[in-house]
Each structure stands twice: as C-alpha cells, then as structure tokens.
Structure 1
C-alpha cells in the first residue's frame, strides 16, 4: 500500500486542489449553492489526504521516530482523520439532499437551495462530525514508554470488551457508513423518480423539439449518481469489515498481513482513500465547462513558461 500511495498521492492532492480552485471561481456552470457543496467536499477530501496519508503513511516512510510519533500527536491525528472522513461522507449526504429538494420540491427550493443555507449546513455537518469523533481520541493508549515519554499508540485492550465502547463502535458503524448508504439511496431514488416522470411529460409536450431543461436534468442525474455511486462502491468493502467486527472476534488495525481479515481491511482502507479523489475526475467527465477550465489553466501555465524561456 505504501508504494501505491507514493505514486498516487501527488495525483490525489493535485486533483482536489484543482477542484477547489476551479469551482471557487464559479466559471464552470454549477450554481453558487452547488459550487459551495462541491468545494467543501473537495476541501474535506483534501483534509482526509493530509491526515491519513501525510500524517500517517508518508510520516512512517520519511519521518520515522520523529515528534509526530508522540502518543498525544498520534491520537490527535487519529481523531482528525476520522473527523475529516465523516465530514466528507456526510457532505455527500447533504449534497444529495440538496439536489433532491431542488428537483422534487419546487416551493422549498427557493428558500433552501441557496448559498447561505449551504454554508450553514456545511458548518453544522462539520461541527457534528467533530462531536461524533471526539471519543475516538480516548480509544488508544501509549504503545511504548521511552525516557518517560509516550510513543506511538495501540488500541486499548478493553475497547472491544467494555459495553460503553462496544456501544460507541456500534453507533459509529450504524451512522457511518450504513446510515449514509440509506440516506443517499433514498434521496437519489426520489430525485431520479421525479426527473424520469417529469421528463416523460415534457417529452410528450415537446416531441421533436430540443429541450434544454431535459438536457440539464440528464446531466444532474449523471453527476449525482456518479458521485454517490462511486462513494458507495468504494466504501462497500470497509463497511463489510465494520460489520464483521461487530459480529465476529476480528479486530481493527492488526499487523498480521497473513490474516485474511487484515488483508481485506487494508484493501478497504485503500479503496476508501481512493474515494477522496474520484469527485474531481467525475466533474471532468460530466461537466464540459469544468474540462474547459482545466484546459485553460494548463494552457495558461504552459504559455507563461514559454514566455519565461
């Protein structure tokens, strides 16, 4: 996993930064409300890469036995990793709900689907993600004690035994990802049903005439299904691991790479990490104006380099 991370991390990092820059300019088509959600999702994915890859994987390769290995810092990194993951995940739910309201509830759309509302929703999601994952700071204990200094961390032995921790793990698993899967599926189903029904009516009235509204709705379906569908697919394996921990004696974060569950768990984490960069490529495929903005940025940078030479 470390080798693939070294190769793919610059691509993941560049993709999310590119999304933030282009969507922030507001020149690639989506309304300010949609752009607000998409920029926040890209920023949340960028945080996942920072805490999960830089502060965990790359730190072990390039900065071993540094101050980043102090137990207190490791526990903070562990906590902020899960906060950023939940922030990214529930923003996907919030975005799906916003698109469902926009398409299915025309009266509510005017008041809800605004940049101001989106900003408030994003702030609430961020706060709740932090509150939900604060207990994870106390899940770990020092792994080594060297010169009276606590180094690295390991999961507490009573984490899988004490009822309070078992309840927390169960609730956390229900909320992320299974509740997320449920809400995304429901919102998408309602949205698609409404679009299909209204499109049939419009097609009957405007047969033989090019309908720009129908084309816009078709693109909305593609964008929505691509974002939520890729999320569900890439999270499915680690979700199965979460369920297995609840009903079997398997445990997370084991180091035995010959254990089948550990192999599946690490593969699930790799796919989960991959979900932190897929949205940019989805925008590039689904949004013509986004592709044009990327081309313009690359062309501009190339032209500037030519002039300097």
Structure 2
C-alpha cells in the first residue's frame, strides 16, 4: 500500500507537470509558427486543447474537487450527468485526435499527390471538428448512467449510479462498443499507419542511398531526418499501446470473470483499476509534448519565451531584494 500511494503521488506530480507542458505548447503554437505548416499547427493545438480538457475534467474536477466538494457537485443531477459525459468524451477526443494526426503524417509522407488536398488548413479544421462532435456525441448515453435520488418541484436532486449498468444487456453492449472504439480501433489504426509509414520511409531511403552511392547515411541530412521521424513514430505508438494496455486488460478481465466492484484498496483489482486510470490520463498528456518538443524551431521559440520571461521578471526581483 505504501508503494502504491507513492506511485499515485508521483503520477499526480507528473500530471501537474504535463498540464503546464501542454499549456506552454498550446501558447507557443498559437503565437509562433515554429516552422510548421498551418494544418500541423492546427492538429497540435487541438491535441493540446483536448489533453488540457482531460487534465481539467478528470484530474482537477473528478479526482481533486469532486471528493472534497461532493455535496456541491452532487446537488443537482444534471451536473453529475454532464460531468460523466465530459470525462468520458475528453479522453476519447484526445485519443482520436492522435489517430487523426498520425493519419495526416501518413498522407504527407506516403502520398505526395493527395497531400495538397487533404493536408490543408480547411481539411484539418473539418477533421478536428468532426472528431470533437463525434466523440462527444457518442458519449451521450452516459447521461442516463446517473439517476436522481429525489425530485422536488420537477427538479432532480442528488446522484446515484443506474443499477442496471452491470446487468443490462444494452449497457454491456454499449461498454463493449465503447471499448472497441477506444482504444481497440485506435490501437489498430496507429500501429497499421505507422508500419506503412515506416515501410515507405525505409524503401525510399534505400532507393536514395542507392542513388547517392557509398556516402551512407552520415552524409545525407534527408535520411537522418527520416530516421528521427521513424524513432518518433515508434515512440508515439509504443507509448499509446503500453499506457492503454492496463485498461484493455482490465476490461477483458472484468467481463470474463464478472468482476465489477471492489471493497477497498487491498484488492488487487482496485490497484490495477486505479493504475490503469492514471496511465490512461498520462497517455493523454504525452502525445503533444512528444510531437512538438522534437521540433528544433519549437525548442528555439520556447527558449526565447523563457529568456523573455526571465528578463521581464528579473527587474522586479532585483528591486524587491534591494
């Protein structure tokens, strides 16, 4: 239990750090182009926004404020229902924006003719809007997962979980459908797209190496850039698969063994459940930083922003100490 509490504490500290990192990423991409195309910046900004919403609604509201001010949040049934929808929707949105951005990279690298049409700012706005609308719409059934405790003057007060969730065939089908869409389908999409991208880059690099002769990769900046892109794509895919593996395994285990509840944190099911939630949120916080921080122009703009902040604050600190 002590080790588990330390793990929770360290993970919460990482989530706070990731919140700041995503906020800085969003602000930097909003103010500077960082050498990126408009469509790429739109995807990264939308991913940063979705990740911030995950940290706000799941970490801040659900994990911190809700246990401390449960009387306020549980006062009106509509508030509970809205929070339950938003918590599920923001995680789905973050995952599917990562898939959309991966597909955008795949088109840019592998399909030179289509990239001018698909990888445009208008198409990026359309894809991002559709992802937000569809992910939030398909989580509307969570509205009916919460029931009121009592009704007064046609107003619903209090919140309780619908007792039919774990026994109804409709709810079980919904949970299976929900898990298939997030994260099983994104699993397949991200892995498949990255494998195709890696194959295309390797074939193109081999052809390029043949044209250049025995110069090798050391004298070819283009091949070095492609190699870094392969490492980045593999890291992003591995991060997504590993951090969501506990959630998928727990879902399959609970459905096969009919285990849905636990009494306390001494139960191994409870430990895995809490760990899977933290890893799932952590994955929603790393994608944007992983993509953006690998850009040299982004790091340059970030250093300029830090120097500007330090130079702005320094006179006030000096005056206060003097």
Q: TM-score, normalised by structure 1?
A: 0.90
Contact 2:98 2:287 survives alignment (8 Å): no
The partner residue of 1:96 within 87, 102, 109 is: 102
- 1:9-20 correspondence runs (5 A): 9-20=15-26
Tell me if 1:172 matches 2:181: no
Instruction: Tell me the equivalent position of 2:158.
Output: 151
Tell me if 1:137 matches 2:150: no
- 1:81-120 correspondence runs (5 A): 81-120=87-126
Instruction: Tell me the equivalent position of 1:198.
Output: 204
The alpha-carbon deviation at position 233 of structure 1 amounts to: 1.3
Cα gap change, 1:30/1:215 in structure 2, threshold over 3 Å: closer, same or farther? farther
For the aligned residues, what is the CA RMSD? Answer: 2.4
Instruction: Tell me the equivalent position of 1:303.
Output: 311
Cα gap change, 1:280/1:115 in structure 2, threshold over 3 Å: closer, same or farther? same
In structure 1, distance between residues paired with 2:70 and 2:50: 26
Q: What secondary structure is seen at the aligned counterpart in 2 of 1:65?
A: helix
Cα gap change, 1:54/1:153 in structure 2, threshold over 3 Å: closer, same or farther? farther
Instruction: Tell me the equivalent position of 1:21.
Output: 27
Tell me if 1:79 matches 2:99: no
Q: Rg larger in 1 or in 2?
A: 2
The alpha-carbon deviation at position 168 of structure 1 amounts to: 0.8
Contact 2:80 2:146 survives alignment (8 Å): no
Q: TM-score, normalised by structure 2?
A: 0.87
Instruction: Tell me whether 145-154 or 216-225 shows the greater mean CA deviation.
Output: 145-154
In structure 1, distance between residues paired with 2:31 and 2:211: 37
- 1:1-309 correspondence runs (5 A): 3-4=9-10, 7-60=13-66, 62-67=68-73, 70-142=76-148, 150-154=157-161, 156-207=162-213, 208=215, 210-251=219-260, 254=262, 256-283=264-291, 286-308=294-316, 309=319
Cα gap change, 1:55/1:153 in structure 2, threshold over 3 Å: closer, same or farther? farther
Contact 1:234 1:274 survives alignment (8 Å): yes
